Amino acid sequence: MISVVLVDDHPLVREGIRRAIDRTEDLTLVGEAQSMKEALAVVPHTSPDVVVVDVRLPDGNGIDLCQRLRDEDPARAVVVLTMYGDSGHVRRAREAGASNFVTKGAPAREVIAAIRRAASQPDKFFAAGITEALERGGARELTDREREVLTLLAEGLSVSGISKRLYISESTTKTHMAKVYAKLGVSNRAQALMTAIRQGLVDPDR
């Protein structure tokens, strides 16, 4: 059996992963935590094979927690779970010693597969559909301004609305949009939003 501790402050996320683990014969959930503080108490007590960690925690950063857990026990595997699938977060997770990186938009079977892979190869980093692009140098990061534009696109704002919100000209907004489309490999707003959701760049609830 592969023992797992789940660290996430969202009850619905924990419930979904808990159910997926309960339905999997070779996995067992031995503990849950909603914060870094709780995780640092639960993990030593339960000694799990794999810790699944959300990046955003109420009292810290899950990637920092990953680094600490790996420093304390290099044999312990950590799967980073997040809404943010951009190359910056992926690189930080890999540098922190994460074994796997999974976006919250991924199907439950991918989370289960990541846990199994991490347990068998804790020192080999894997991020489905992302690792290969990073190795080739093909992943292109959005700038902070491009992220703002993408977020406002997800909120349904027009070019004019985005320009007013960010206090920039419409031509500048269009330039940022063109760069976002190019980096995402799309040609219109609908494609950009679908791709951004799949990559965890925007909240699908928007």
Let me know if residue 96 belongs to a domain.
yes
Give the rounded percent of residues in the chain with a pLDDT score beyond 70: 89
Taking CB atoms within 8 Å and a gap of at least 24, the contacts of 104-109 are: 104/13, 104/200, 105/197, 105/198, 105/200, 105/204, 108/16, 108/17, 108/19, 108/20, 109/20
Same domain, 47 and 90: yes
Same domain, 89 and 188: no
**Model confidence at 46: pLDDT above 70:** yes
Let me know if residue 205 belongs to a domain.
no
Same domain, 34 and 56: yes
**What is the structure's pLDDT at 206?**
55
Residue 172: which domain range?
144-198
Q: How far apart are the C-alpha atoms of 109 and 98, rounded to whole Å?
A: 19
Domain tally, the chain: 2
Let me know if residue 206 belongs to a domain.
no
Same domain, 60 and 157: no
pLDDT band at 183 (very low <50, low <70, confident <90, very high): confident
